[in-house]
A = this chain, B = another copy of it.
Amino acid sequence: MSETGNNLSGQPLRLDVALVHYPVCNRNGEVIGSAVTNLDLHDIARAGRTFGVDSYYIITPFADQQQLVREIVDHWVTGYGAGRNPARREALNLISLCPDLAGLYATVTDKWGVRPTVLATSAQVNERTVDYASVRARIKDGEPILLLFGTGWGLTREALAEVDGLLPPLKGGGEYNHLSVRSAAAIVLDRLLGRS
């Protein structure tokens, strides 16, 4: 991890990111499992490495999808791509697999010795919404935080009901709000950890 991702006391950030492929919604609000895509792995790993994320978890219960993740990561971390592009190796080295959210929560709780605060982005603003500035300060103070990003049309209502807080929707001047999950993750990490 070298010099990236230390808080003010020089300790590594206790921040993890997870990209959830199940359970998420499709365009009709039905619960589905989405397919893993190569660029979701690369782009969010590169942003995670840039901003000092500890681990980037890919959540999918499907064996063939897990195998695809392993093959992509192996290519860049230990295979041909590792020598060809060391910067990409450093990024994809953040990736771990988890079959489901229960497994994810157990893994990160075990890692930090305490259950982290779990936050998800949401199109809604309600009493569970936490603002970016306060989360930024909590990360800097060393609080373990886990950020969930949903693929497809987003995390199911049941998954959102389990998290500890919601990050406000990412907006420009208007109501249009259809960023890719890759763009949303990059912006959220910049808001929480970026420097000019």
Contacts and interface: CB of A to CB of B under 8 A. Distances in A.
A28 interface: no
Nearest to A168: B196
Interface residues of A, number: 48
Interface of A: 2-6, 13, 27, 39, 42-43, 46-47, 49-52, 85, 87-88, 90-91, 131-132, 168, 170-180, 182-187, 189-191, 193-196
A128 B190 CA distance: 23
A172 B52 contact: yes
Contact of A170 (B85, B182, B185, B190): B190
A194 B171 contact: yes
A51 B171 CA distance: 7
B46 A178 contact: yes
A87 B179 contact: no
B178 A187 contact: no
A4 B186 CA distance: 21
Given A6-B173, A42-B180, 11 more contacts: A4-B173, A5-B172, A6-B174, A27-B85, A43-B180, A46-B183, A47-B179, A51-B173, A52-B174, A90-B176, A170-B194
